[in-house]
């Protein structure tokens, strides 16, 4: 038993953390979010690092790694609240690899892995990065379809989350090709990756809150010395650590013990998407008035955390799956 | 990352599992308190005879010398088999480790073997009526005499005091001192005239705990542990042992209870109630987070010697989950959940202590805030 990362995984995480800290500084995130766009140059650098195809087989030009490695990237990009097409790109490719027909895989996977073509992923209700995508992968209940650019009727949706582009996609498309079980497996993996983005957001909101609580003084003391604030921060850590254990476990299950994935993914998505929302709300409270201003960066985290609760199901929906899977 | 057991770990697990299957005594039978206690003492003798009493104790002191992970596997299997706790639980988890860490060779020779065999039961004299969470404010006095110490004062919440031979006693040996300085750690003989033990009846109606009154009780010099004035440092070792041992088996115990609760829901026909389904799912998620967090913490401890931050919330997770679980079970039972001697009614009432005993939720949150998050201290 060893619940820790190997050297390569640690290096991936550290590289991603350093890359994001350097490239997605708060003012960069703010500028991109306010302009509602991604940065082509930064995306090119991420592509050069091989991130879009991290979990895609080498025969399709990917890195041939697993969901754990993808989750580490998603977590770090969430921590930076980075506006980027990473999730839509990497997850549309992953869906195709897990549940796509051979024809679709051969036609699209190399382009998606190298990012010479663009992917989008979502459900019938909400899709990430649909505009301009060459291939859109859309899930509904236990079905999934692939929509090519020419057939895609995209209705853009302006959401509160300005770090990503969203839309709703019309009903056209062909079945993805995989069996029901493969489609469920793709969906579970996508849920775990979004949960990892939430985990990163939650950790960032906690770190910002702790730093602020140690520095901000009222009544002649740092507010973090008051239990009303410090206990809230302890509860935030509790939520973050629960989410972290469950997200890493689900990623491991996807790679090494697929029979455990349905329950593991449901638990991870339920806990992490709720935890990020709760922790971001708490972070606004800890920051007080400044946390409610547009000028402070917290609201970008809060809004993305909210969007993640709507992507591929939030806490209540995934807890219902958990109840079913434990035999109720 | 590999969350399965290696072949060696699996072999160890199977060895434990097979042994427990063949030797576990079943639940503690109904009966008076003395016969129930003797039942757990007999169980400890059985464990000891097979070398399972001091699983994580070094072999030179009569233990099995198991690794951290093996010790966790062992406690997990004990919980899985629903085996009772051995009688001398405080001696095994705290008394022995303190003697091994801070005791002299003579003390090790004198005290360790009877802890393992269950022949001498140990209790812990830390808390006082005026010193609960603020343990360092304790006032029980130790006055130096020729060849030893006279003890005067009162301890409370002393589990097993009425059957104990030895008490791990922290008392103020320097009358002018305050707080952490001036405390000394003694091993005090409970079988003497200067000690009176009174049972403390708790909200469940039973008396797991006692009050202990020291009236000129005597401790010979050779029963001081770790030297005069070092009591706080020695006491901290035992508290850390108390907390480190918790995570491994707690999730297994909760899982057993959750299985019973799910069966109860289905039997009572409320498994389709969306509110109950949501609460059960929250419990399941909480229990799995505790189990996985313990594994992460254990990995960090094995790799670096230091448990990770996830371990610091284990007690919080366990207490809140155990309380919520028992409460939901009594709700599902309806009026039957009120029955005075009902199993779940008992668990619901007993669980109220979970967020107080072994560090209150409030104190643990202070610790997380100050030591894990690095927030400024309240004082």
Percent of chain B with pLDDT over 70: 97
Chain segment A190-223, per-residue pLDDT in tens: 999 999 999 999 999 999 999 999 999 999 999 9
Q: What is the mean predicted confidence (pLDDT) over B279-299?
A: 95
Dist CA B192 CA B180 (whole Å): 28
Q: What is the mean predicted confidence (pLDDT) over B175-197?
A: 95
> Scanning every residue of chain A, which has its alpha carbon at the shortest distance from the alpha carbon of B292?
A245
- What is the predicted pLDDT for the residue at B307? 74
- What is the predicted pLDDT for the residue at B241? 57
**Any chain B CB within 8 A of the CB of A246?**
yes
Q: What is the mean predicted confidence (pLDDT) over B223-236?
A: 95
**Any chain B CB within 8 A of the CB of A212?**
no
Q: Which of A148-157, B162-171, B289-298 has the lowest mean pLDDT?
A: B289-298
Q: Which of A20-24, A43-47, A300-304, B92-96 has the lowest mean pLDDT?
A: B92-96
Q: Cβ contact (<8 Å) for B292 and A241? A: no
Chain segment B215-224, per-residue pLDDT in tens: 999 999 999 9
Residue ranges of domains in chain B, CATH in brackets:
7-87 (no CATH), 122-232 (2.40.110.10), 245-372 (1.20.140.10)
Q: Tell me how far CA of residue A159 lies from CA of A81, B304, B373, in angstroms.
A: 16, 44, 34
Residue of B262, B272, B292 for testing the chain A interface, max A β-carbons within 10 Å: B292
The set of residues, in sequence order, having a beta carbon less than 8 Å from that of B293 and lying 6+ positions away, is A241, A242, A245, B247, B310, B311, B313, B314, B317
Exposed, middle or buried: residue A190 (CB in 10 Å: 0-12, 13-18, 19+)?
Answer: buried
State the DSSP code for B356.
T
Dist CA A204 CA B201 (whole Å): 47
| CATH for A181-325, options being 1.20.140.10, 3.40.1390.10, 3.40.640.10, 1.10.1040.10 | 1.20.140.10
Q: Cβ contact (<8 Å) for A327 and B262? A: yes
Q: Which of A258-262, B135-139, B206-210, B244-248 has the lowest mean pLDDT?
A: B244-248
Dist CA B237 CA B117 (whole Å): 23
Does the structure show a pLDDT above 60 at A166? yes
ipTM of model? 0.97
A107 φ, ψ (degrees, to nearest 5): -75, -40
Query: Inter-axis angle of helices A86-99 and A180-215, to 10 degrees?
Result: 150
- What is the predicted pLDDT for the residue at B238? 66
Report whether B317 contacts A242 (CB < 8 A): yes
User: Helix, strand, coil % (nearest 5) of chain A?
Assistant: 65, 10, 25
- What is the predicted pLDDT for the residue at B237? 75
- What is the predicted pLDDT for the residue at B249? 85
CA distance A241 to chain B (A): 6
Confirm whether B211 is a catalytic residue: no
CA distance A159 to chain B (A): 28
Query: Inter-axis angle of helices A7-23 and A67-80, to 10 degrees?
Result: 20
Percent of chain A with pLDDT over 70: 100
Does the structure show a pLDDT above 60 at B311? yes
> Scanning every residue of chain B, which has its alpha carbon at the shortest distance from the alpha carbon of A6?
B1
Q: Domain A7-179 adopts which CATH fold?
A: Butyryl-Coa Dehydrogenase, subunit A; domain 1 (1.10.540)
Exposure b/e, B90-126, CB count within 10 A at least 16 = b: bbbbbbbbbbbebbeeebeebbbbbbbbbebbbbbbb
CA distance A3 to chain B (A): 5
Closest by Cβ to B369, choosing from A233, A256, A328: A233
Q: What is the mean predicted confidence (pLDDT) over B34-62?
A: 95
Band the pLDDT of B26: cuts 50, 70, 90: confident
Query: Could you state, in order of their start, the residue ranges of all structural domains in chain A?
Result: 7-179, 181-325
Angle subtended at Cα B217 by Cα B211 and Cα B221, rounded to the nearest 5 degrees: 125
Q: Cβ contact (<8 Å) for A242 and B281? A: no
- What is the predicted pLDDT for the residue at A231? 98
Chain segment A258-292, per-residue pLDDT in tens: 999 999 999 999 999 999 999 999 999 999 999 99
Exposed, middle or buried: residue B145 (CB in 10 Å: 0-12, 13-18, 19+)?
Answer: exposed
The DSSP H or E segment spanning A95 is helix A86-99
Band the pLDDT of B309: cuts 50, 70, 90: confident
Does the structure show a pLDDT above 80 at A145? yes
State the DSSP code for B82.
T
- Of the listed B206, B242, B331, B357, which one is catalytic? B242
| B277 contacts in chain A (CB < 8 Å) | 319-320, 323, 328
- What is the predicted pLDDT for the residue at B243? 53
- What is the predicted pLDDT for the residue at A123? 97
- What is the predicted pLDDT for the residue at B240? 64
Chain A contacts in chain B segment 316-345 (CB below 8 A): 316-317
* Of residues A200, A186, A278, the one with CA closest to residue A29: A200
Dist CA A305 CA A198 (whole Å): 6
Chain segment B234-264, per-residue pLDDT in tens: 998 766 655 554 677 899 999 999 999 999 9
**Average per-residue pLDDT in chain B?**
94
Residue of B268, B288, B319 for testing the chain A interface, max A β-carbons within 10 Å: B288
Dist CA A176 CA A138 (whole Å): 9
Q: Do A181-325 and A7-179 have the same topology in CATH?
A: no
| A238 contacts in chain B (CB < 8 Å) | 313, 316-317, 368
Q: Between chain A and chain B, how many beta carbons pairs sit less than 8 Å apart? A: 165
Q: Cβ contact (<8 Å) for A3 and B285? A: no
| B317 contacts in chain A (CB < 8 Å) | 238, 242
């Amino acid at each position: 038993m060893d619940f820790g990362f190997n050297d390569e995984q640690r290096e991936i995480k550290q590289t991603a953390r350093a890359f994001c800290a350097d490239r997605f500084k708060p003012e960069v995130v703010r500028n991109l979010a306010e302009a509602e766009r991604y940065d082509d140059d930064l995306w090119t650098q991420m592509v050069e690092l091989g991130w879009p195809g991290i979990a895609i087989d080498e025969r399709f030009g990917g890195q041939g790694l697993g969901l754990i490695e993808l989750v580490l990237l998603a977590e770090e990009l969430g921590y930076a609240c980075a506006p980027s097409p990473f999730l839509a790109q990497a997850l549309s490719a992953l869906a195709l690899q897990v549940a796509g027909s051979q024809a679709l895989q051969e036609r699209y996977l190399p382009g998606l892995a190298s990012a010479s073509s663009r992917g989008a992923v979502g459900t019938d209700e909400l899709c990430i990065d649909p505009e301009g995508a060459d291939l859109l992968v859309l899930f509904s209940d236990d079905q999934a379809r692939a929509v090519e650019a020419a057939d895609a009727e995209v209705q853009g949706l302006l959401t509160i989350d300005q770090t990503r582009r969203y839309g709703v996609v019309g009903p056209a498309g062909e079945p993805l090709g995989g069996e029901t079980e493969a489609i469920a497996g793709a969906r579970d993996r996508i849920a775990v990756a979004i949960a990892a983005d939430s985990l990163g957001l939650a950790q960032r909101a906690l770190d910002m809150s702790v730093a602020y609580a140690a520095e901000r003084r009222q009544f002649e003391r740092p507010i973090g010395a008051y239990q009303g604030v410090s206990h809230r921060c302890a509860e935030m850590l509790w939520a973050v650590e629960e989410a972290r254990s469950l997200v890493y476990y689900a990623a491991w299950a996807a790679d090494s013990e697929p029979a455990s994935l349905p329950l593991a993914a449901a638990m991870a998505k339920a806990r992490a998407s709720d935890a990020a929302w709760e922790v971001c709300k708490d972070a606004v409270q800890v920051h007080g008035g400044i946390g409610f201003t547009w000028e402070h960066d917290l609201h970008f985290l809060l809004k993305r955390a909210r969007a993640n609760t709507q992507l591929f199901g939030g806490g209540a929906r995934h807890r219902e799956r958990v109840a079913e899977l434990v035999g109720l | 990352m590999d969350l399965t057991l290696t072949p060696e770990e699996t072999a160890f697990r199977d060895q434990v599992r097979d042994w427990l299957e063949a030797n576990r005594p079943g639940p503690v039978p109904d009966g008076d308190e003395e016969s129930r206690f003797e039942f757990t003492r007999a169980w400890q003798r059985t464990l000891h005879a097979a070398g399972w009493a001091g699983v994580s104790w070094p072999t030179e002191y009569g233990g099995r010398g198991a690794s951290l992970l093996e010790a966790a596997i062992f406690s997990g299997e004990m919980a899985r088999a629903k085996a009772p706790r051995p009688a001398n639980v405080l001696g095994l988890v705290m008394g022995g480790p303190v003697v091994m860490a801070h005791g002299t060779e003579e003390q090790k020779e004198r005290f360790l073997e009877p802890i393992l065999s269950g022949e001498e039961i140990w209790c812990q004299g830390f808390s006082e009526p005026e010193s609960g969470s603020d343990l360092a404010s304790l006032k029980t006095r130790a006055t130096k005499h020729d060849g030893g110490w006279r003890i005067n004062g009162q301890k409370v919440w002393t589990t097993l005091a009425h059957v104990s031979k030895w008490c791990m006693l922290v008392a103020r040996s320097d009358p002018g001192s305050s707080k952490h300085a001036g405390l000394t750690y003694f091993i005090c003989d409970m079988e003497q005239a200067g000690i009176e033990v009174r049972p403390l009846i708790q909200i469940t109606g039973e008396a797991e705990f006692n009050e202990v009154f020291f009236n000129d009780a005597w401790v010979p010099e050779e029963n001081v542990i770790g030297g005069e004035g070092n009591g706080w440092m020695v006491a901290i070792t035992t508290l850390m042992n108390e907390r480190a041992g918790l995570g491994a088996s707690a999730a297994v115990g909760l899982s057993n209870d959750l299985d019973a609760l799910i069966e109860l829901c289905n039997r009572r026909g409320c498994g389709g109630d969306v509110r109950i389904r949501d609460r059960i799912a929250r419990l399941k998620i909480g229990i799995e987070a505790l189990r996985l967090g313990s594994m992460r913490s254990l990995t960090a401890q094995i790799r670096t010697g230091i448990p990770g931050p996830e371990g610091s919330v284990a007690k919080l997770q366990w207490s809140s989950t155990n309380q919520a679980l028992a409460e939901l079970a009594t709700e599902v039972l309806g009026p039957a959940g009120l029955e005075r001697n009902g199993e779940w009614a008992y668990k619901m009432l007993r669980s109220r202590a979970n967020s107080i005993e072994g560090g209150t939720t409030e104190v643990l949150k202070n610790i997380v805030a100050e030591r894990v998050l690095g927030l400024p201290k309240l004082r």
